[in-house]
């Protein structure tokens, strides 16, 4: 499916349709759909990224995960209208996660402890490698077929071993590894294509005198 398709005039989006839509198109529904489409599309965005948030916070977070996740999605919904270039959602979402994580660190640091503000800003960056990899992966899974998508979700997001994935899918571990390898090869090609497109957008905006980032 192309991410730049026009928004459909259909009022209802079935769960099956939502699961196949690219992130950029879901963003389009949130920004300019009907009330029901806005709700359905944003819930699908939250469904895709919640496991990643949970995994990241479990490893690097501090405090209550429920508060963190609530603030991330509330802030995402409140500011999504600012995202003029939907394909830049990964960078937009990463910025919000970092901001909320920094706020959580501030809340959880006792007043009597002397911690420099820059230290509080740096602590959320500890999660950055996992976060960036996960956001990019989750943003592009819809470009894969159903089996490839499921294998990568279980392997890279839920950390299931190949043997367990093979058992769930009724295939050998070798077949799972082959599916994973082909899926990652396809994702690398898509990453390269979109990175080149965003760089062209950045250069065009700089040339025209605009200094804002592509996702603003």
Q: How many CB atoms lie within 10 A of CB 159?
A: 8
Q: How far is CA 200 from the centre of its chain?
A: 22
Cβ–Cβ < 8 Å for 115, 66: no
Q: Which of 68, 103, 128 is the last residue of a domain?
A: 128
The answer to whether position 63 is within a domain reads yes
Is 116 in the same domain as 156? no
pLDDT value at position 75? 94
- Percent of the chain at pLDDT > 70 equals 72
Mean pLDDT, residues 16-30? 90
End-to-end CA distance of the chain: 25
pLDDT of 82 strictly over 70: yes
pLDDT value at position 140? 80
Over the chain, what is the mean pLDDT?
77
The answer to whether position 137 is within a domain reads no
Number of domains in the chain: 2
Closest C-alpha to 11, from 44, 34, 42? 34
pLDDT of 24 strictly over 60: yes
Closest C-alpha to 157, from 145, 172, 141? 141
Q: Which of 128, 152, 173 is the last residue of a domain?
A: 128
Q: How far is CA 205 from the centre of its chain?
A: 24
Q: What domain range is 7 assigned to?
A: 1-128
- Percent of the chain at pLDDT > 90 equals 30
pLDDT per position as a tens digit, 126-152? 566 667 777 877 888 878 888 998 999
The answer to whether position 139 is within a domain reads no
The structure tokens 């420099």 sit at: 116
């Amino acid at each position: 499916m192309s991410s730049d398709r026009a928004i459909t005039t259909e009022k209802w989006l079935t769960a099956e349709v939502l699961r196949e839509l690219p992130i950029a198109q879901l963003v389009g529904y949130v920004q300019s759909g009907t009330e029901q489409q806005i709700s359905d599309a944003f819930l699908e965005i939250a469904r895709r990224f919640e496991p990643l948030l949970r995994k990241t916070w479990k490893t690097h977070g501090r405090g209550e995960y429920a508060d963190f996740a609530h603030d991330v999605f509330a802030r995402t919904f409140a500011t999504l209208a600012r995202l003029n270039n939907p394909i830049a959602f990964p960078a937009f979402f990463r910025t919000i996660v970092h901001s909320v994580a920094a706020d959580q660190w501030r809340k959880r640091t006792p007043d009597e402890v002397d911690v420099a503000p820059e230290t509080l800003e740096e602590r959320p960056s500890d999660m950055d490698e996992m976060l960036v990899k996960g956001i990019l992966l989750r943003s592009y899974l819809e470009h894969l077929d159903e089996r490839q998508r499921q294998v990568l979700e279980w392997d890279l997001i839920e950390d299931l071993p190949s043997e367990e994935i093979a058992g769930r899918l009724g295939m050998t571990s070798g077949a799972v590894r082959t599916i994973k390898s082909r899926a990652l090869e396809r994702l690398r090609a898509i990453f390269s294509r979109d990175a080149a497109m965003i760089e062209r957008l950045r250069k065009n905006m700089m040339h025209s005198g605009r200094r804002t980032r592509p996702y603003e």
